[in-house]
Structure 1
Amino acid sequence: MRILLTTLNSKYVHSSLALKYLYMAAQNCCQELEVKEFTINNSRDYIFNELVSGHYDAVCFSCYIWNIRQTAELASDLKKAAPRCRILFGGPEVSYDAEAFLEEHPYVDFLIAGEGETAFEKWCRAFNGDGSYSQVPGLFFRDAAGIFAGPAQEAAAFASIPFPYSSFPCKADKVIYYESARGCPFSCSYCMSSIDRSLRELPVERVKEELSFFLKQEVKQVKFLDRTFNWQPDRSRELFAYLMKHDNGITNFHFEICADLLDEACLELLKDARKGLFQFEIGIQSVNRQTLQAVNRRSDSKAVLQKTKMLIDLGNIHVHVDLIAGLPFEDYASFGRSFDAVYQLGADHFQLGFLKLLKGTPIWQDAASFSYVWMDRPPWQVISNRFICAEELCRLQRIEEILDLYYNRGGFSRSLPWAIRQMNEGPFVFYENFSEYYYDRGFQHRSHKKEDLYRIFYAFGQEKNLGQVFTELLLQDLEQTMNFDAVKKFKRKGWNIR
């Protein structure tokens, strides 16, 4: 039997850790098991031709919020082209209410809900005639009587799952995903981890051994999928120290951490790390106490902001911070206060995200009490609630675009902070005014080269009477960011945006 494991990643540089785990779990019970990865940006015809021409007996799709629509369309077409091919879906986007999903998608023959390693290995054996589908934990499938559900699935013993990269090359142009723990000690109501509270970690010595594999391979970046890497401060500090000691000068390690769990010993250790060795992502989400309580976040905003600032001030670690718009009790003005508090930290990257009401999460189940209105298809993004209206969330989306263009992409390190100080109304009001200017003049209708972003900012500064100093700082930013020939060409064309 020929079986394909596949998925559509969101970008080319991304890779699927799930497919590697599944392959390692089932490779000994399936003679012809293949892995192929695509992206949502590949043409539909290219992917379809690859699936049909493979003459597979079964195609198994890993499904996520970013790929479910295209995956479903491909699977439907594949079933029409190859009716005898069996189609299996799995992954977080189909794990909740699996029976209803199968009823709505008749071309899907099987669905595995929850973690897949144990279930997929047993499914492969049953598919090859060695076992019964009815005994596969977490499996939903069709039989003559309708849709049948296998026994409930228990959380796998994580330490028993083999290292997923022993059979796969670490490609230099791909981000390498890795997890040293599954689950999360917290229960944020908007997160899928709040559904499964089991927290399982690998032994520290095994983690060190596996990290040494990546270091020897000199991969560009290893991104940990641990929901809260530093949930055990002693454990995380030991692993940070190991990576610092064995630093190859090339590999970067990305972690999602909880800032208020950083202790003095960890900060003291991290100050000696090579610049570029570590990258930390900190989900602040809001500084509104009532909002944090409503979504079951127990963090102390004051401590989170203080520790995040201390980390940023070390100057050797790339720090990424997040806010989420659309949370309960966070109206437009409250979000502005959260924005200002986080912006003033001076993080390397500031992501303004929008709440997704993921199926099965507590906030999804409690949506009516907050009068949530949301998109009826992935990514299930919030449209409004009783605290913030649709128009206000659209205004925040405009602010998010300007924040990304001018803060996150860089190149305005002198002019941007100076303009915010001169306007003297705070970062949020500044970005609000700039985004209104940008949209009122229709700049959102086309993409812009970097030099034109300088021209747009200059025109905004002229309207706001920011003066000659602003222009000089903007020119300094331009000269530092762009090459000599591009600067000469810019000066010939001038500041006017066409």
Structure 2
Amino acid sequence: MKVLVGTLNSKFIHSSPAVAYLSAAAEKRAAELDSKGKKGFKIERAEFTINNSDDYIYNEIAAAGYDAVCFACYIWNIEKTLHVCENLKKAFPKMVIVLGGPEVSYDAEELLKAKPFVDVVIRGEGEKVLPDFLEALAAKNDKAVKNEATNDNIGCRIIDGGCVAPEDVPNALNKADDLKILYYETARGCPYNCSYCMSSIDKKIRAFPMERVKKELSKIIDAEPRQVKFLDRTFNWSAERSEEILSFIMENDNGTTNFHFEICAEILTEKLMKLIAGARKNLFRFEVGIQSTNPKTLEAVGRSANIDKVLDNTSKLVAAANCPVHVDLIAGLPYEDMESFKKSFNEVYGLGADELQLGFLKLLKGTVIRAEADKYGYVFDGKAPYQVIKNDFMGPDDMVRLKRIEHVLDDFYNKGGFNRGLAAVIASFKTAFDFYDCFAEFYFREGYQRSSHKKEDNYRILARFAKEETDCGENIKEALYNDLTERMNPEAVKRFDKKGWEI
């Protein structure tokens, strides 16, 4: 029996740890069956992207002659995955379609009724139950499998994987390709209860043994990938454990790889921050999910954070200046109206982090906030990623306004290269939010969003805005030109000089 374990990643640079774990677990079972002379199966892996055409994905799978295909489903790939699977079932009625992942785990019954071409849904983590299912399927054990799409007993087509113990998670690492991000985890679960996050569903931390973590990190470091992104939802949940892991990485630093972690700033210890301050520049990258500075908002979503401590510790992390710091805000949370969000934005922007992501609430399946949608008047997109449209605190016009701010924030702040120019123009406004709000209105009024722009054109756009909408006058050009010459290569600067400031 020939089986595909695959998924559709959101970008080429991404890789899927789920596919690595599941295929490794299945391959181990297949080897055990072979050693016992039992009927087994052969596993193949495939990672497509959502940018591949449906036709390409379908043809690649159809040509391989699989008996079963197993897909990991997420908000970014569910629509495309279902479309491809439907066509595969039409072409090969005997092919068994197995879906797993968060996008099918919380409404499995409804999915199976609405999509009869799906034979089986695995809910939760699949490292233990997928090999069991494939073994039964290979043996054609109808009682264990019951995979007929016409079976009216939906419950028989749902397999609960639950939460897998660390000792049952196979040792599996994706290839450390320089062109891709290597995802890695040292623990599953999260100690916090954020109502918008799926990680809060699994409240118990399941940590992998430190001996295993160090062995795997050694292999990763030796392979010299460009970036390793830790999947641990709160990496510093244990100060002692996080210190040991960071120290190990520092002691074995290969000089090129950088490591990305999601951390909780509130529980950062002085000892951990001192350790981080001694690391090679850019060895570590930290992501801090602040989300809001409104205490009532944080309480409503289950984040009982000491916001003063969060801001203070994040500021210290930024001040260390040896590791990039990424901070997050979420628009659309309960009790956060435009004035409240403006305050949150200004306080977080003032930290001076390398990146500020202005995200929008997504009411994910299985989360508490989705169950409480009526309580806060949420209206959201019915298709993945289920992004908020409005609630009792912000109307649709507010959301559009913030979407426009997000656009210019990403292009002019997060992508870098405008430090002097932004500082000069923001000084003409009462707050940073007021600047981005005004600049976004100008940017979209002039239609700049309708086409892509080279980096040098963005310097021209900001200069035009400063000239027409502020009292900066020509002074802004000197600051912007210094930014440009520092950021752009000499040939790009020559092209800019030849054309001038007109956009």
TM over 0.5: yes
1:97 aligned partner: 107
Q: Deviations over 1:438-460 (max 9, x none)?
A: 01111111111111111110110
2: CA distance, partners of 1:175 / 1:280: 15
Q: Quote the offset at 1:200 in angstroms.
A: 0.4
SS at the partner of 2:196? coil
User: Which stretch of structure 1 is more off in the superposition, 256-265 or 77-86?
Assistant: 77-86
What is the CA distance between 1:172 and its match in structure 2?
A: 2.2
Give 1:158's match in structure 2, choosing from 162, 166, 185: 166
Q: Aligned partners of 1:216 and 1:151: how far apart in 2?
A: 38
Match in the other structure for 2:429: 424
Question: Of the candidates 137, 160, 164, which is equivalent to residue 127 of structure 1?
Answer: 137
AA matched with 1:54: A
Give, in whole Å, the separation in 1 of the partners of 2:290 and 2:78.
Answer: 28
Q: 8 Å contact 2:127–2:168 — kept in the other structure?
A: no
- Give the deviation of 1:154 after TM superposition: 3.8
SS in 1 for 2:11: coil
Report the CA distance shift for 1:24/1:492 in structure 2 as closer, same or farther (over 3 A).
same
> Which secondary structure state, in structure 2, belongs to the residue aligned with residue 425 of structure 1?
coil
AA matched with 2:325: V
Aligned to 1:438: 443
Equivalent residue for 2:34? none
User: Structure 1, residues 5-54: CA drift from partner, whole Å, max 9, x if none?
Assistant: 11110000100100111111111324311001100111222111101111
Report the secondary structure of 1:113's partner residue. Answer: strand
User: Structure 2: which 5+ runs fail to align?
Assistant: 31-39
Superposed counterparts of 1:62-461, under 5 Å: 62-129=72-139, 131=141, 134=144, 142=149, 144-149=151-156, 152-165=160-173, 168-421=174-427, 423-461=428-466
Q: How big is each residue's C-alpha offset from its partner over 1:71-105, in whole Å with a ceiling of 9 and x where there is no partner?
A: 11111111112222111111011100211111111
TM-score, scaled to structure 2: 0.95
Could you tell me how far apart the structure 2 residues matched to 1:434 and 1:181 are?
Answer: 42
Fraction of identical pairs, as percent? 49
Measure how far apart 1:492 and its partner are: 1.7
Residues 124 and 162, structure 2, Cα contact 8 Å, conserved in 1: no
1:420-465, CA deviations, whole angstroms, 9 ceiling, x for partnerless residues?
A: 11x1311101000000000111111111111111111011011113
TM-score, normalised via structure 1 length = 0.96
- Change in Cα spacing, 1:140 to 1:273, as seen in structure 2 (3 Å) is farther
From 30, 38, 41, the counterpart of 1:31: 41
The answer for unaligned runs of 5 or more in structure 1 is: none
Q: 1:347 to 1:475 in 2, by over 3 A?
A: same
Instruction: Kindly state the Cα deviation for residue 151 of structure 1 after the two structures are TM-superposed.
Output: 6.7
Q: Deviations over 1:319-352 (max 9, x none)?
A: 1100000000000110010000000101111100
Of 36, 43, 48, 2:58 maps to: 48
CA apart distance, 1:475: 1.0
Contact preservation (8 Å) 2:123, 2:162: no
Q: Aligned letter for 2:417?
A: G
SS at match of 2:357: strand
Whole-Å separation in 2 of the counterparts to 1:286 and 1:184: 19
In structure 2, relative to structure 1, the CA distance for the partners of 1:348 and 1:151 (3 Å cut) is: closer
Q: Aligned pairs, how many? A: 491
Query: In the aligned structure 2, how far is the partner of 1:367 from the partner of 1:133?
Result: 40
* Aligned partner of residue 148 in structure 1, secondary structure: helix
Per-residue CA deviations over 1:267-305 (Å, capped at 9, x if unaligned) read: 111111001110111000000000000000021111000
User: Contact between 2:24 and 2:172, CA under 8 Å: does it hold in 1?
Assistant: yes
CA distance in 2: counterparts of 1:78 and 1:340, whole angstroms:
50
Q: Which residue of 1 aligns with 2:467?
A: 462
**Matched letter for residue 347 of structure 1:** A
Report what 1:18 is aligned to: 18
In structure 1, what is the equivalent of residue 71 of structure 2? 61
Q: What letter matches 2:164 in structure 1?
A: A
**Counterpart residue type for residue 118 of structure 1:** K
Secondary structure (helix, strand or coil) at the match of 1:65 reads coil
Q: Once the two structures are superposed, what CA deviation does each residue of 1:147-178 show, in whole Å capped at 9, x if it has no partner?
A: 1245754421113322112xx53222111111
In 2, Cα distance between equivalents of 1:141 and 1:202 = 37
- CA distance in 2 between counterparts of 1:55 and 1:157 reads 34
RMSD: 1.5
Residue 487 of structure 2 corresponds to residue 481 of structure 1: yes
